[in-house]
Structure 1
Amino acid sequence: MTARDGRGAFCAEIDVSRETLDRLEFYAELLEKWNPTINLVSKATIDEIWTRHFLDSAQLCDLVTREIHHWADFGAGGGFPGLVVAVLLKERSPETKMTLVESDKRKATFLRTAVRELAVNTDVVSERIEGLTPLKADVLSARALAPLVKLCEYAERHLAPSGAALFPKGANHAEELKEALASWTFKSQEFPSKTNLNAVILKLGDIARV
């Protein structure tokens, strides 16, 4: 798939303005420039930025149906899903603040550069999640970071009381849910992924220890 094909597939699923699309195009250029040095995305998927990474991240925005003030993304890496979401929120909800948490110092440096260049309402925190003061986020996300049972621990600490956690998960999501429910209680919804027929986005709320 060419970059143009990827952009077309993205735009077919996600409604964005020309300005937002330009920001995403610039973001893609930054990723391609930095990736040989820091390995922000695998070499096998660098040519699929628009579908494998941008669309996979942007689809989370459509699952948030109420006004939010603070979104936190853990293990942000190259900015997925958090920085992509922040670019969309600049148009959709400019008052919403994004916090990207990434303990890898080099990746955090990339994220700070991208945040500055993209002019999005975003903070980058280069610390381990376990050591953070509770963030009280309205929405918390994490992509390919940890098993669901561990993500529940993070969410319980860092979500606001009425907050929601969004966790993209692969084909083994049913097993992860079963494992997590042995230690945690929560309300959950499953939404099919737009980029992988075997994947889902889990939306959890009211997370508490058993």
Structure 2
Amino acid sequence: MDVSRETMARLEIFAALLERWNQRINLVSPKDLAQLWPRHIEDSLQLAEDMPPGMPFVDLGSGGGFPGLILAIATGNPVTLVESDQRKASFLREAARSTGTNATVVAKRIEDAEIGPAGVITARALAPLPLLLEWAKRFLQPDGVCLFLKGRNAEDELTAARAEWHMTISRRPSRSSSDGVILRLSEIRRVKEPDRATGR
């Protein structure tokens, strides 16, 4: 993705801050630090073209800010970052402040987070798709979409997810990983909605 000079400057601020913090807490693995731009930042930026302009979104398991904070820097869309690790949450708050990004950090487990419905949910390398959809559905508007960065097991995960979920699937290959794929999932609903009386 081509970005403006202003956006690039903000991404460089983010990268420098991450490198400093990474000496104290494990935001990315030490061997990945040399590949921070292609492996993490550019990988995250791929989702920007799927983001509706200005739409607030929720990023699950934000970790070191991928993809949520990077997308918010690139698009200007407000983001809610859900990250249970308190030290990583502190980094995310500082990174948002330093880069002037409209980000709210929720330092709770995904299961415990209380967030209003969002039009877009993002996640990267967080959990197998059936579980990821279980988490995401809680925060997703009825007409919302999920944008997930997935690896070589994406098709197996989709097969497993179809046992529990109906959804419209769009996929395209990752530009930053030879075995990566970008999933855009919409019209997500359970194959069998639980009975409200019994919960089953």
If the length of structure 1 is used for normalisation, what is the TM-score?
A: 0.88
**Residue of 132, 155, 168 corresponding to 2:113:** 132
Q: CA deviation at 1:121?
A: 0.8
Cα distance between partner residues in 2 of 1:74 and 1:98 = 10
Q: Which residue of 1 aligns with 2:12?
A: 25
Q: CA deviation at 1:135?
A: 2.8
Q: Is residue 77 of structure 1 aligned with residue 63 of structure 2?
A: yes
Q: Which residue of 1 aligns with 2:144?
A: 163
Figure out how many residues of one structure are paired with residues of the other and give that number: 191
Q: CA deviation at 1:77?
A: 0.3
Cα distance between partner residues in 2 of 1:161 and 1:61 = 21
Cα distance between partner residues in 1 of 2:180 and 2:97 = 32
Cα distance between partner residues in 2 of 1:68 and 1:187 = 23
Q: Is residue 46 of structure 1 aligned with residue 33 of structure 2?
A: yes
Cα distance between partner residues in 1 of 2:182 and 2:156 = 14
**Residue of 168, 190, 194 corresponding to 1:209:** 190
Structure that is richer in helix per residue: 1
Q: CA deviation at 1:134?
A: 4.3
Q: Deviations over 1:85-130 (max 9, x none)?
A: 011023xxxxx31111000000000000111111111101101111
Q: Gaps spanning 5+ residues in structure 2: where?
A: 192-200
Q: Which residue of 2 aligns with 1:178?
A: 159
Q: Deviations over 1:126-167 (max 9, x none)?
A: 011111224311110111111000111112111111111011
Asked if the contact 1:193/1:200 (under 8 Å) is kept, the reply is: yes
Q: Gaps spanning 5+ residues in structure 1: where?
A: 1-13, 91-95
Q: Is residue 118 of structure 1 aligned with residue 104 of structure 2?
A: no
Identity over aligned residues, as a percent? 48
**Residue of 23, 35, 42 corresponding to 1:55:** 42
Cα distance between partner residues in 1 of 2:128 and 2:63 = 17
Q: Deviations over 1:47-71 (max 9, x none)?
A: 111100010000001123x345211
Cα distance between partner residues in 1 of 2:121 and 2:171 = 16
Asked if the contact 1:68/1:138 (under 8 Å) is kept, the reply is: no
Asked if the contact 2:106/2:113 (under 8 Å) is kept, the reply is: no
- Secondary structure in 2 matching 1:38: coil
Cα distance between partner residues in 2 of 1:178 and 1:45 = 30
- Secondary structure in 2 matching 1:36: coil
Q: Is residue 37 of structure 1 aligned with residue 24 of structure 2?
A: yes
**Residue of 142, 156, 171 corresponding to 2:123:** 142
